[in-house]
Amino acid sequence: MKRAAMRAMVVREPGGPEALQPADLPVPQPGPGEARLRVAYAGMNPVDAMLRRARLEWMPVRYPFTPGIEHTGVVDAVGEGVDAALVGARVLSRVSFGGYAEFSLAPAAALVRLPDGMGLAVGAAYRGCSSTAWYALHGAARVTAGDRVLVHSAAGAVGAMAMQIARDAGAKVCGLAGGPVKVAFARGLLADPAGEVLDYLQPDWPAQARAFAGPGGFDIILDGNGGAVAAANHGLIGVLGRIVHLGATAGAPAASAPTPQLIAGSYSIGGMTLRAVEAKMGAAADPIILREVLAGRWRVPVSEVVPLAEVAALHARLEARQVMGRALIEVGGEVGGR
């Protein structure tokens, strides 16, 4: 029996977490080149929270909209021009919103098939954070064995994956996290006796980081945190070092160093967003990431799973910096997604 309506959480106009409101929406019908997913899980991606407040000028949306840019499900219908064999496939959608609803639409060509052995829950969390960390390290920062790497937001999803990827590239890794609970969480994921995770809420953390790096400073600093803490980067980076900004979850960082300072210090500052640099689905990084994740060597930091009805409270905790790793929103779940 075909369903006419579906549960969803909708943002009708920009605002705080309370802007997320339950709604009954028509079940969407796939158009040419599209596939419809019966949604299983959505990842709590910071992009969804920033767009809820209309704070991403480079990724505008029209309101009302249904968040959930990173979600998994099972294809249950396809539009014109799409191979019907796709129906029944377990897939990840990462290029279109709609994951905060029982059904979503996505360009069929952009869907990522989940491999055997990967559940729909982990599938909703693994790729965005892993790919961001991989391209930041191997693309923007050009990590090599022996590099000294400092990772901000080490208890966050991207930071946790970056520590593991840098470790396996042969780097000496130091993470930063806020408070003892987050420090312990990040240390467990780094799982490297030669590495370290420091509490940036302690006033002497820059001295501790400097001691870890040694007299040459850090070769790479990945900063997805921003805020006041980012000012310390300039005193910790070494000659020919690379500071790469991946976001600003703690607010915009202090003004960048003036050109004379960069010349005198012989270091560089850059930025990266996965949307701009990510290669075509199925590119060289994908099998590497899948191999390491499926083997359990790179542990995807799924920290909690909440039902769709509680997504506004999850957004509030994210903005209060109380969420570690990647939280998931359960829509249909492993069974319901099928």
User: Strands 34-43 and 71-78, how do they pair?
Assistant: antiparallel
Q: What is the per-residue pLDDT for 17?
A: 97
One-letter amino acid at 269 equals I
The Cα 104–Cα 337 span in angstroms is 12
The Cα 137–Cα 140 span in angstroms is 6
The Cα 217–Cα 194 span in angstroms is 17
Provide the token pair at 17. 């977490």
The Cα 332–Cα 135 span in angstroms is 31
Query: What CATH fold (topology level) applies to the domain 129-277?
Result: Rossmann fold (3.40.50)
Question: Among residues 61, 83, 75, 79, which one has the least CA distance to residue 112?
Answer: 75
Q: What is the per-residue pLDDT for 297?
A: 94
pTM of the model: 0.91
Provide the token pair at 323. 């969420």
Within 13 A of 190's CA, how many CA atoms are on the CB side? Answer: 32
Taking the domains of the chain in order of start, what are their residue ranges?
Answer: 5-114+301-336, 129-277
User: What residues form DSSP beta bridges with 150?
Assistant: 174, 221
Provide the token pair at 2. 């075909």
Q: What is the per-residue pLDDT for 280?
A: 53
pLDDT tens string, the chain, 338 residues long: the values are 577 899 999 999 999 999 999 999 999 999 999 999 999 999 999 889 989 998 877 777 889 999 999 999 999 999 999 999 999 999 999 888 999 999 999 999 989 999 999 999 999 999 889 999 999 999 999 999 999 999 999 999 999 999 999 999 999 999 999 999 999 999 999 999 999 999 999 999 999 999 999 999 999 999 987 777 888 999 999 999 999 998 767 666 666 778 888 888 899 998 887 777 765 555 668 889 999 999 999 999 999 999 999 999 999 999 999 999 999 999 999 866 66
DSSP class of residue 168?
H
CATH 3.90.650.10 fits 5-114+301-336, yes or no: no
The Cα 94–Cα 19 span in angstroms is 23
Q: What is the per-residue pLDDT for 43?
A: 96
DSSP secondary structure letters along 297-314: SS---EEEEEEGGGHHHH
